[in-house]
Amino acid sequence: MPDTTRTSTATLDTPTAPGAVRIDGVTKRYGSATAVDDLSLDVQPGEFLSLLGPSGCGKTTTLRMIAGFEYPDAGDILISGRSVLNLPPYRREVNTVFQAYALFPHLTVAENVAYGLQQRRVPKAEQRERVSEALDMVQLRAFADRKPTQLSGGQQQRIALSRALINRPGVLLLDEPLAALDRQLREEMQLELKLLQARLGTTFVFVTHDQAEALSMSDRIAVMRAGRIEQLDAPAAIYAEPASAYVASFIGQQNFVHGTVRAEGDAVDTAIGTISGRWGGERVAPGQPAVAAIRPEYVRLEQGDGAGVRGRVLGVSHLGETLQVAVRIGEDATFLSRMPAPSAPPVGVDDEVRCVWSPADARLFAAEGIPTTATHVITLPKDGSL
């Protein structure tokens, strides 16, 4: 437990509306390891905010501190303008939905949903009314008398949501609640969850490592790295204007090309030629290592003579409405191109093509922060050749 004499570090501009969350300079350590490092974040009332990042970045620890299951070593957490550091989980105006839905198998769906109301000694007549409303909200009133084992994964997930929302929390915390679902059901539930949040106006703080999930549902995304926020912005802004190579590599796919910054400063000399672009984050001094990033959807494939990076088609993947083509450049480097299927050129394996893109679509970054899992990285050899 934290020191009960600690006072709030909130300032006068602390959001005080119901459902507002402020994380103010929070640090959490486990022994010598720092899980969350001086983190500050405001979540607006009624916002759907996602904490996105790989395992170990601090996102779940942050969520657990808001819920009261973990206590920070420094800093403050406020909900609706009130410090909650000294409040146990059951006295905070939050509820949590975990990846494991934790439904009681011996209780019916209705009894599972009513459990929180029973603990608060809500009158039985009100319990019945609110359970019916909560099951209508997730379209499962017809399943009220079934046991959880008689439901599909998606239905169990909706029951867990219904149980969490029935107490009308100001903030709903969700820790990768869709991770156990298959792809099609997961995509369906992403839409349902976003529509439900918009209808209720409840503040959602959602933890995920899935970039597509965060992009499709969030009002804002906080991309986390080593216990800190690397970038906080709307999904479209993070995708189009990543603030670092780390964010660029974590959101969507990229063709990364390593090299050194030219004297002019807005271009990088690489093994496949000079790549001009716009800087994301801080500029790098001429002569220093840097990386150019071009998303596959910005890469066009052309045939015949002309400008561009030449290579041979290594593979073609049909992704429904899009066509993804891997192009071999040199001995073992690849470039990805992703184009609308109807307008894609008719290319096949071993065809010679040119990879072409606009300088406006290339981003330049400091050559650090790309996770080891990042793909399609072309490194400039010391002799400058492929």
Domain containing 38 — which CATH number? 3.40.50.300
Place of tokens 């979540």: 43
Residue 6 domain-assigned? Answer: no
Q: 62 and 156: one domain? A: yes
Number of domains, the chain: 2
Residue 3 domain-assigned? Answer: no
Q: 228 and 261: one domain? A: no
The range of the structural domain enclosing residue 299 comes to: 247-378
Q: Would you state the pLDDT for residue 53?
A: 92
- CB-based contact 242:282 (threshold 8 Å): no
Q: Would you state the pLDDT for residue 6?
A: 37
pTM value? 0.85
With H, G, I as helix, E, B as strand and everything else as coil, classify residue 54: coil
Q: 326 and 195: one domain? A: no
Q: Which of 240, 265, 287 finishes a domain?
A: 240
Q: 170 and 253: one domain? A: no
- CB-based contact 173:95 (threshold 8 Å): yes
CATH number of the domain residue 311 falls in? 2.40.50.140
Q: 139 and 251: one domain? A: no
Q: Which of 197, 213, 240 finishes a domain?
A: 240
Q: 233 and 258: one domain? A: no
Q: Would you state the pLDDT for residue 278?
A: 94
Q: 218 and 336: one domain? A: no
Residue 16 domain-assigned? Answer: no
For residues 48 and 121, give the distance between their C-alpha atoms in angstroms, rounded to a whole number.
31
Q: Would you state the pLDDT for residue 195?
A: 87
Q: Would you state the pLDDT for residue 297?
A: 93
**Which of 318, 360, 311 has the alpha carbon at shortest distance from 335?**
311
Q: Give residue 139's identity as a one-letter amino acid code.
A: Q
Residue 299 domain-assigned? Answer: yes
Look up residue 238 and give its two tokens: 């993070």
Q: 254 and 231: one domain? A: no
Residue 211 domain-assigned? Answer: yes
Residue 12 domain-assigned? Answer: no
Q: 268 and 234: one domain? A: no
- Burial grade of 233 (CB within 10 A; 0-12, 13-18, 19 or more): middle
Q: 197 and 266: one domain? A: no
Q: 99 and 236: one domain? A: yes
Q: Which of 240, 261, 277 finishes a domain?
A: 240
**pLDDT by 10s per residue, the chain, length 386:** 444 333 333 333 546 788 999 999 999 999 999 999 999 999 999 999 999 999 999 999 999 999 999 999 999 999 999 999 999 998 999 999 887 778 889 999 999 999 888 888 889 899 899 999 888 888 888 999 999 989 888 888 888 888 888 888 899 999 988 887 788 878 888 888 898 888 889 999 999 998 989 999 999 999 999 999 999 999 999 999 999 999 998 888 889 988 899 988 799 998 888 999 999 988 999 999 999 999 999 999 999 888 889 999 999 999 888 999 999 987 777 889 999 988 888 899 999 999 999 999 999 999 876 655 454 555 444 343 34
| Dihedral (Cα; 167, 184, 375, 260), 10-degree rounding | -60
Look up residue 165 and give its two tokens: 């929302």
Residue 294 domain-assigned? Answer: yes
Q: Which residues of 238-271 are buried (b: 16+ CB within 10 A; e: fewer)?
A: bbeebbbbbbbbbbbbbbbbbbbbbeeeebbbbb
Residue 315 domain-assigned? Answer: yes
Q: 114 and 217: one domain? A: yes
